[in-house]
Structure 1
Amino acid sequence: MLRKPVSLLLPAAFLLFALAALVLPLNRDESQYVAAVELMRYGLPFRDFMYLQTPLQPFLLAPFAFVEEGWLFLTLRLTNALVAAGAILLVYLAARGAGGTPRRALAAAAMLALCDAMIFAGGVARNDALPVFFEALGIWLLVDARLPIRLTGRHFLAGLAFGAAVSVKISYIVPAGVLFAVMLYEGRRDRCRGAVAYALGGAAGVVPTLLLLALAPESFLFGAFEYSLVAPQQWRLLNDQAHMLEFPTTLARLAWFLVQGPALLVLALVLWRRFRHGRDRHAVALDWLIVAGCIAAMLPQPSFRQYVIPILPPLFVRFGAIHGPIASRRGMQLGFAATLLLGLWRTTSETVATLRGGSPILLAVVDGDWLGEHLDDSGAPGMAVSLSPERFAGGKLDIDPRFAMGPFLFRMRGLMTPAEEQRMHVVTRDRLDRALTSAPPPAIVTGGEGRSTPGAPGGLDAPLRHWAERNAYRRMQSPSGMLSLYLRTR
């Protein structure tokens, strides 16, 4: 009876995330991930252009850099939609493997898909969908004893999955490390063979990270570690937002992100079940993974919705494996209904806005085609400078690798010396005039970073715009009206 709903789980989740990919506004974080995939055609992260995460994602997605001109951005969004849908299916399989009934496992997977943070992961071209897929895969390999794989083999593959998650996003090192500690503690009787197999798999999973560390240690250490410890906090202080770095604010924001969907309510139910009824099967590892996810969510400052995602797979697998009634009371059912509505609210409102004004991602595709055609018609060779490279990545307009990370490195102040900027292929606001004057670019694209803030009066695009105007670049407006193309005059 339940085969049909289960068979619809993957396509239904993909359709939801694909809808989000079409309607969600462009996120400034997408700039670095889309540009990095495009630049894989010419070089490597850290060695040839800066990157602000561990580097597995651009390697895995590099083939998409050769899709039809102008469609890279949309292709990466839809790829994340498919990967996130795969994570939903893996959570269902893991909940079944942990002893959950088909109905409860299906409910858990469906509720995960309706969390706003998960919809965000599947709807934008960031680095959230791949690591959550690998985390869900690792959990499934550990809890499903029915898999026709030897125990140590499953532990090795689970370690490989968690190692791959770490190689996509550094914050997953917390759940990966906590799980290793749990396996060490529980494996004392069999001489920790499972923990050793898991560690070997994890080591294999971080090989791409170690290779890039060996190739460009200075750039790697800055991009993967130092930047996140200093630069985001500096930007908030420059914009009079010090309160966003305080612990109470972080806790409140994370709770708000969890309540946009049933995650916070499910967390409360799992805790109640844990202390009321004791351990369930696989409870220890899953409980510690939930704790590790909470720690990983609180580490980055300031906090955003994507940081709660590591909590979600173990939480919903744990929920899906529970036997017996949970939400029999009417008030609990109403609570689930309210949180599900909150989870879908943003996607629903953006869908209405898209019906009125057009799809943000499709408008970006049109603008990207227009930008490439006009630069191509001008006959000017070279690479374009922009803080929004995702808007034309994969088209005729090539990205200047020094601006591949969009606004994130450009907005820094005093965190690099001129020599370090040159070695790491970076241009900041402090040295923009010198960098552009020494080699004037054929084109400058502005408009994606126009919002004025105390730290950037007139927007981060203002220095680029002013330099282009001072140097007599010819300005043209994109079809959407959002972007300005400045062409160097002959």
Structure 2
Amino acid sequence: MRVAPAGAPVPARRLLPWALLAAVLMGLTLTRTVDHDESQYVAATVLAAHGLMPYRDFAYLQGPLQPLLFAPIAWAAGAWTWPALRLVNALLGALTIALVHRAARRLGAAPRAAAAAAGLMLCCDILLFSIGVARNDALPAALFAAALVVMTRLRGGAATRGSALLTGLLLGAAAAAKVSYALPAIAYGVWALAAPRRHRPLWLILGAVPPALLVAWCWWTAPEGFLFGVFHFPADAPAEYYAGYPWKLSLAAKLVDSLKFLALGPALVALAFVIGRGRMRALAPLLFACAVAALAPQPTWRQYWLPFLPPLFIALALAWHRRPPGRNWRIAFGITAAAGLAPSVAALVTANGMSLAEAMRTSAAIRATMDRAGVTGPVSTLSPQFLPATGRLPDADFATGPFYFRSRNLLDPGAERRLHLISHARPHVSAHWVLVGGETRRTSGNPDLDRMLAHAAGGPRTPVPGTGFQLVRVEQPPSRTR
């Protein structure tokens, strides 16, 4: 079997399927319903685009890379920031699939086997959800998949200095975007140390220095905010939030949920196929590290399994090439592929949620109401993703959307003031205007939180015509000493 050299140009006709894939994913992301998970990612990117720094100037509950890297997109997109961030994630999703295909081909998989594996990965609900909304999953997944491609760039059976350097940079950047990617990065680092002549660990470490310096700088500028956002909140908030539902944090629930997420698509069947063919080999440490990263948080959600997919489907391509699946395996792949597509198809044909188009029309109506009311300055809201289209900035104290506001006792009042955070246990509105109405069942939100925020504002309410939103005036916002 002949594999194209690493530096060979790709014919234009070979790019057409990937361009079509990108177009399809971009279309899907523009029609996917709104999820309140998007709130903090849109807010963080917009605030970073206006010169504010995560952890120091506003709270952010993830690694620092994405809002800083995407800030120019928000600056350029302006009122269209929310759709633009979704489109970027769709493109990164298409790139991730293309990179999985590329890595499989470099490792010796035949074109048909690599294409089959890439197509099956596309049918995973884990992937389709993660790249379909404005979250922070698509960027680190693409960086990780790119690192897997570079790992295959060998000369005489060993990595070059340049490939080791680039691998370290990509793995470090993925971890800087989402901390769960640190585990596969560490796993590869240990693997490299065990075979230094093959993997050049010193150059790998040097490549990871720039993203590590970014993370260290963010910690240095705001150590308390960084540690809380990146480590303490993810570790402590679920136990408080699910205090009334302890079964949700049980090991049994974690295993059931994980099996469900992997079964909504061909991932579970692919794992069984790869294990049965004994083709995990060098990818086994990465798969194990990615599985641990997915299972570590409480509870486990579908997007946590996204790092697991690139090495899994590369392994599937290799196993497929060695011995293609028989009839029963193909039936299993077909059934689970349909199951993985079902949630996205259901979201397209049902009207249970708010579409992005409706959300943008709602934002236009909010802007008109704000213009009539003479709204200036930042706006406090649990739904900051609606604000870019209004031309107003979110209040930095509410940059995490509903996710810290719904907490009770994670921090004391002094820490909340220092870290730019507001909880519903101690609601405080320092802006002059409050926007409520985005936390609804249609956005996977909790309307009680909006009612608490509106009550804390205490001023007269102005309905936004044709929407469920209200603009609340805070007549004399009390000062909040930092």
> Contact 2:34/2:353 (CA < 8 Å) preserved in 1?
no
2:84 partner letter: T
- TM-score for the superposition, normalised by structure 2: 0.90
2:439 partner letter: E
> Contact 2:77/2:84 (CA < 8 Å) preserved in 1?
no
- Show the 5 A alignment for 1:63-462: 63-145=72-154, 151-187=160-196, 190=197, 194-237=200-243, 240-274=244-278, 283-322=280-319, 323-328=321-326, 330-353=327-350, 360-393=355-388, 395-432=390-427, 435-436=428-429, 439=430, 441-450=431-440, 459-462=448-451
Q: What is the number of residues matched between the two proteins?
A: 463
- Show the 5 A alignment for 1:463-478: 463-468=452-457, 471-478=458-465
> C-alpha displacement at 1:363, in angstroms?
1.2
Change (3 A) 1:331 1:365: same
Instruction: Name structure 2 gaps, 5 residues minimum.
Output: 1-9, 477-482
- Match of 1:459, SS state, is helix
> C-alpha displacement at 1:4, in angstroms?
8.5
1:7 partner letter: L
Runs (4 or more) in structure 1 with deviation over 6 Å come to: 2-5
1:220 partner letter: F
Instruction: Name structure 1 gaps, 5 residues minimum.
Output: 275-279
> C-alpha displacement at 1:206, in angstroms?
2.2
1:136 partner letter: A
| Distance in 2 separating the partners of 1:106 and 1:4 | 17
| Distance in 2 separating the partners of 1:137 and 1:313 | 10
- Aligned position for 1:9: 17
> Contact 2:404/2:422 (CA < 8 Å) preserved in 1?
yes
1:198 partner letter: L
RMSD between superposed Cα atoms in Å:
2.5
2:41 partner letter: Y
| Distance in 1 separating the partners of 2:12 and 2:328 | 30
1:483 partnered with 2:478: no
| Distance in 1 separating the partners of 2:148 and 2:347 | 33
| Distance in 1 separating the partners of 2:109 and 2:435 | 53
> Contact 1:71/1:394 (CA < 8 Å) preserved in 2?
yes
> C-alpha displacement at 1:428, in angstroms?
1.1
> C-alpha displacement at 1:68, in angstroms?
4.5
> Contact 1:367/1:478 (CA < 8 Å) preserved in 2?
no
Could you tell which deviates more after superposition, 130-139 or 393-402? 393-402
- Aligned position for 1:277: none
Change (3 A) 1:423 1:461: same
1:327 partner letter: P
- The share of aligned pairs that are identical, in percent, is 34
> C-alpha displacement at 1:376, in angstroms?
2.5
> Contact 1:20/1:120 (CA < 8 Å) preserved in 2?
no
Change (3 A) 1:260 1:451: closer
